[in-house]
Amino acid sequence: MAKRIGFVGLGTMGAPMAGHLLREHGPLTVWNRTRGRALGPWGLENAIVAPEIATLGAECEIVFLCVNRTEDVRECLDGLTSGARPGTLFVDHSTIAPSAAEAMHAELAAKGFRFVDAPVTGGSMGAQKGQLTIFCGGSPSDVSEAIETMQPYTKRAERVGGPGAGQRMKMANQIAVAGSVLALCECLAFASHAGLDLVQAREMIGGGAGGSWSFENYGPKILARDWTPGFSVKNQRKDLAYCLADAATLGAAVPGVELVDSLLARLEEAGRGEETTVALFELLASGRES
C-alpha cells in the first residue's frame, strides 16, 4: 500500500516540487502558512489541503518541508509532531543552520520520529523542471526512503553523511554560488565600463574557461535588466549568514562569502532585498561598490 505523503510550504520552490509529487505518487496532502495560495499553476488543485498543520502530521507517513529559516522549520515540526505517529519520516528541504539540523535529528529521534536534512540546489527553474540536486543527511535507510519518494523532482540526490551533513554540503554549495554570482556580475560590470558589447562578452566568456551555471542562467537576466528572483538578495544573505556562522564554528576561512555578503547588504539597505542576487551587477556597474 502506498505511503500517505504530505508537503508543507508551497512557495516558489515548494509548490512545483509538490506538484511533481502529486503527479507521480497520487494523493498528496498539503499545508501552507500563507492561506489562499493559488494551487492551480502547479497542478495542485487536486491536492488535499489540510485545515491545520497538525492534521497533516497525523495523517501522513512521510512529510516534506520546504520553508525558509531555521525558526520556520522548528515551528512547523512542533505542529506536525503534535499528533504524528511514531516512525513518521520528516524530510526538510529548507536551508537552515547545520547545528540546528543536527539538533532536530536528535530531538525527533527521542520522540520516535525520523528526520532527513535534505536541502536542494537548482533554483526555481530546477524545481519547475524536476531537476534539483539534493544533499541528504541522515541514516542510510531513512535517506534511501526519502530519495525513492522525491525522485519526481530530482536530478541527483545522494546521502552525503549523517545528521546535519546535508546542510553542511549546502553551505559548501552556497559558498560556490556566491563566488560565481560575484564573478559574473564583476565580469559584466567591467565589460560595461570598458564599453564592450555585453551580449558578446557573456557569450564568449561564458562559453570558455570563465563560464559557469551563473553565466548560463543569470547572464540573460543581467542583459535584460530583469531583477526579479530567481533567488533573492534577502534569501541569499540568510544562507550566507548560516555559512559564516558555521565556518566560524569549524574554523574555516570564507573571505569570499564575507565580501559577497557585504556587497549584497548594500543592495538590501537600498531596499532591493527582494530582487535577484545578480542585481549586484548594477551596484558594480555604477561604481558605487566602495
* Residues recognised as catalytic: 170
Locus of grid cell 496532502: 29
Contact 181, 218 (CB under 8 A): yes
188/174 Cα distance (integer angstroms): 21
> Residue 127 and residue 16: Cα distance in Å, rounded?
6
DSSP state of 92: E
Query: In the chain, which ranges are continuous DSSP H helix?
Result: 14-25, 53-59, 70-81, 98-110, 123-129, 140-150, 165-193, 198-206, 213-217, 219-223, 233-250, 255-269, 280-286
Residue 75 per-residue DSSP state: H
